[in-house]
Structure 1
Amino acid sequence: MGKRGPQNPFGEWTVYEGADGYFHGRIYMGVKADGSEDRRHVMYRDRDRAVREMRRLEKLRDAGQVAKAGKVPTVAQWMRTWLDTIAPRTAQQSTVDEIYRPKVERWIIPRLGQHKLDRLLPEHVDDFYTWLPQQGLSSKSVLLIHQILSRALKMAVRRQVVARNVASSTYVEAPTHRDGEIEPLSQTDARRILDLAHVLPNGARWSVALALGLRQGEALGMRWGCIDLQAGTLRVFQVKRTRYQHGCEDAHECGAEWHRAACAMPCKRHKKRCPTPCRPDCRFHAQHCPKRLGGEWEFKVPKGGKARTLSIPAPLIRELKAHWRKQRKLREVAGEAWTDMDLCFPNSLGMPLEPHDDWADWKWLCKAAGVRDARLHDARHTAATLLLEQGVDIRVVQEILGHSTLAVTKRYTKYRELHQAGALSLVT
């Protein structure tokens, strides 16, 4: 063993030059879960760097910010662990698969994934946030990526995988984003849509959307058993499909036909942005597996964690009664092929309507009615705006929409006055 280097006065860490030409640092960090001593070891070519690392570890230990002993994962490894095993417990699986995962695979991992989790520095995160807008991402997308990264690192700190969250406000300023002005439909445009909606099998679904402002999953999850047409009340739940899972032995090979490769640059196929390419060990696309599991429809409480009861205006009650009679005739035509799930707005065989088909109906209505190409969520904004401008108390509107905070509902108070009363009269 080579010559001993500097050490602290209590002998809890030391640096020495080994026979291999490296400077080795060893430090006592505490006690492991099994009762044995937790001693850490580092090695560098430069003595000063080894000393600095010892002093850094000493400060973390004294501050009670010691990460668990063992090999520290890379950012890529931890982000995928968080997506696969942690995030689905608190977020909807569709949110994880359709929002979190594309952001992680497309932006976070390619730029930060190679760093060890304990070697990720605030400077790396700052550079990352500066780089993202240069790739054409909006301020809203940059903020969402920051929230995903910070949430994953926060969980890493809780589980003592790493000592600090370098994406927290302590180290990095969060990217700024200001929500754009929401543009609800005018009452005239809403009237045009409703006048045309009766030609669709589930035309009353759009009366519900524009009168009560239900989210898509809540509207598609409406059941006759949750509606009291005599009392004029509706108990709101939502319908969601459970996640598909591979039932085969080799998930990667099973989905080979569906793996997405990175588009050549410049890509001329996609108008906005190329789809996220699959990673080399992709095990997704379970919906195409011939032995797939899952995919069942489930009724759940809405976003926010609790069901809510709404009052149904009299014109909408009449609309729902007419829709029930219309649906009864469709059931007779379908015969034994009909699956009775008690849904108000099912497909032609009684099963829940696929969200994409529901979205397509809305887009068709907007185009056929000569209305601007509005988002499906704009129907919810329209309902909220009309209720507020009709004079309904904002806290009542918050309860109707199921917003978690009043601050979200207040965004709807900024819009122009429509000078037309009777928002709920749209459904007459």
Structure 2
Amino acid sequence: MSSRKPNLRSSIYLGGDGWWHGRVTMGVKDDGSPDRRHRKARTQTEVTRKVRELEQERDSGKTSKPGRKPTVEQWMTTYLNDIAARKLAPTTLESYWSDTRNWIIKHLGKHRLDRLLPEHLDALYSRMLAEGKAESHALKVHRILSRALEVAVRQEKVGRNVAKLVDAPGAGDEEIEPLSQQEARRILAAAEHRRNGVRWSVAVALGLRQGEALGLRWKYVDLDAGSVRVWWQLSRLTWRHGCNDVAKCTEARHKRACPKDCPKAKRPSGRRHACVPTDTKGLCAKDCRKHASTCPERTGGGLVFRKPKGKSKRTIPLPPELIPLLRAHRIRQKAERLAAGAAWEDNDVLFAQPNGRLIDPRDDWDDWKDLLQVAEVRDARVHDGRHTAGTLLIEQGVHVRTVQEILGHSDIRLTQRYTHVASPMAEDGMQRMGRALWGAN
């Protein structure tokens, strides 16, 4: 086999068609043949400029692979399905897909990947903000796109990552609305005599995420040592079609599943509904996930245990006052198990349905909303219980690094948000400052 390097000299000439042509040898293709690229223009000056650009790409090592470049839509589909899917949690992947469909593909999808420009990204982020989306949402879309483009650069699909050439949207500050100490106490008092009421004591005391609380299992709880290992969380995954003919399956079943008074139903034909994602032929889109739960051969969905990512896997000491509440809860659960008999489904979870089955996060949300009304406390999200834990820990003088460890934050900046709302500590600090400067010696 010859090891001779290709002749890298470029050529510029006037063609018989009246156009100026330029040809540049960029290297060698995978099959060993020379990789020569062609450019043309109406003037010699313009084609010379294009030739020089190609030569600069080649000389700087930023040469993209030969062949027609994929569109943004094609590359994002490849990236999410074949690359990101190996590393991302299923729920995170679904979230990435949602933002990719609704923003990246919708507004940038038709661009060829190598012709995507910084101003295209700036226009997308400006549009998101103009439509009322939070800065943090625009930043998330930017990060998804930037990561996909970085992989494209590594695989020589493109010569540069244009996402690095724009100013990323600001992160914004997530609004934290913790409950006050008095509100937290009223909630725990109202939950005391409810079934699974200690679920909310755990939420406020330990600051667990909803999935972490519902995924707690007795094998990871040591009441004698007073600790709990948060090693798993419960997640609801989206069902996917398991049949061969997705379009036929979904189109037939969507119409049966969709209520008769669906406001998005196509009229007057009624053949299909506008709430069903469709392709250009009127069939259900192959990537449709909204109603795959109706497929008789559905796969990959439902409630599942999965490991938390990063530093979220942790061991937390239990407050001494919480231990007897958990002991009493375990006794009541054992009684439910005896009453259920053969109908009991053993999942070893701390908080279960009366038959032992897992609690759906949506039902858990409804229980929380009902509890707030009973306790006569303002409306709040389930996640606000976690914010309450972080705020109360800071107010009690717990070091922010310790709070980070308890809550399982990967970044100390997430924990430091609670220092901004812990006003009692700030007030106490200023009172001490006043005494130091103007108080009696």
Please classify the TM superposition score into its range, dividing by the shorter chain length. Answer: 0.7 to 0.9
Q: Return closer, same or farther for 1:88/1:321 CA change in 2, 3 Å cut-off.
A: same
What is the correspondence of 1:158-177 to structure 2 with a 5 Å cutoff?
158-168=154-164, 171-177=165-171
Q: Which of 81, 90, 98 is residue 84 of structure 1 equivalent to? A: 81
For residue 101 of structure 1, report the CA deviation from its aligned partner: 1.8
Q: Return closer, same or farther for 1:114/1:43 CA change in 2, 3 Å cut-off.
A: farther
Q: Distance in 1 between matches of 2:229 and 2:189?
A: 27
- Amino acid in structure 2 at the alignment position of 1:104: T
SS in 2 for 1:255: helix
For residue 247 of structure 1, report the CA deviation from its aligned partner: 1.7
- Amino acid in structure 1 at the alignment position of 2:146: S
Percent of aligned pairs with the same amino acid = 49
SS in 1 for 2:310: coil
For residue 290 of structure 1, report the CA deviation from its aligned partner: 0.7
Look up the match of 1:366.
Answer: 372
Q: Return closer, same or farther for 1:45/1:377 CA change in 2, 3 Å cut-off.
A: farther
For residue 39 of structure 1, report the CA deviation from its aligned partner: 2.2
Q: Return closer, same or farther for 1:95/1:180 CA change in 2, 3 Å cut-off.
A: closer
SS in 1 for 2:229: strand
Kindly indicate whether residue 120 of structure 2 is the aligned counterpart of residue 139 of structure 1.
no
Look up the match of 2:324.
Answer: 318
Contact 2:228 2:316 in 1 (8 A): yes
Kindly indicate whether residue 250 of structure 2 is the aligned counterpart of residue 255 of structure 1.
yes
Q: Deviations over 1:261-283 (max 9, x none)?
A: xx99xxxxxxxxxx998362333
Look up the match of 2:410.
Answer: 404
Contact 1:15 1:24 in 2 (8 A): yes
Look up the match of 2:50.
Answer: 53
For residue 36 of structure 1, report the CA deviation from its aligned partner: 3.3
Q: Return closer, same or farther for 1:57/1:288 CA change in 2, 3 Å cut-off.
A: farther
What is the correspondence of 1:20-419 to structure 2 with a 5 Å cutoff?
22-43=19-40, 48-97=45-94, 99-168=95-164, 171-237=165-231, 238-241=233-236, 244-256=239-251, 257-258=253-254, 278=277, 280=279, 281-285=285-289, 286-295=292-301, 297-304=303-310, 307-418=313-424
SS in 2 for 1:160: coil
Q: Return closer, same or farther for 1:372/1:49 CA change in 2, 3 Å cut-off.
A: farther
Contact 1:186 1:418 in 2 (8 A): no
SS in 2 for 1:246: coil
Q: Return closer, same or farther for 1:295/1:124 CA change in 2, 3 Å cut-off.
A: closer
Structure 1 unmatched runs, 5+: 1-9, 265-274, 420-428
SS in 2 for 1:179: coil
Q: Return closer, same or farther for 1:107/1:224 CA change in 2, 3 Å cut-off.
A: same
Q: Distance in 2 between matches of 1:253 and 1:185?
A: 49
Contact 1:118 1:162 in 2 (8 A): yes
For residue 379 of structure 1, report the CA deviation from its aligned partner: 0.7
Structure 2 unmatched runs, 5+: 1-6, 265-273, 280-284, 426-441
For residue 330 of structure 1, report the CA deviation from its aligned partner: 1.7
| TM-score, structure 1 normalization | 0.84
Q: Deviations over 1:365-397 (max 9, x none)?
A: 223322222121111110011111112222211
SS in 2 for 1:373: coil
Number of residue pairs matched by the alignment: 395
Q: Deviations over 1:324-361 (max 9, x none)?
A: 11111221222212111111112333232222221222
Q: Deviations over 1:228-263 (max 9, x none)?
A: 111111111223355533221112332225499xx9
**Of the two, which has the highest radius of gyration?**
2
Contact 1:67 1:163 in 2 (8 A): yes
Q: Deviations over 1:169-218 (max 9, x none)?
A: xx111112430442210011111211222354321111111000011111
| TM-score, structure 2 normalization | 0.82
Computed over aligned residues only, the root mean square deviation of the Cα atoms, in angstroms, reads 2.6
Q: Which of 10, 15, 20 is residue 13 of structure 1 equivalent to? A: 10
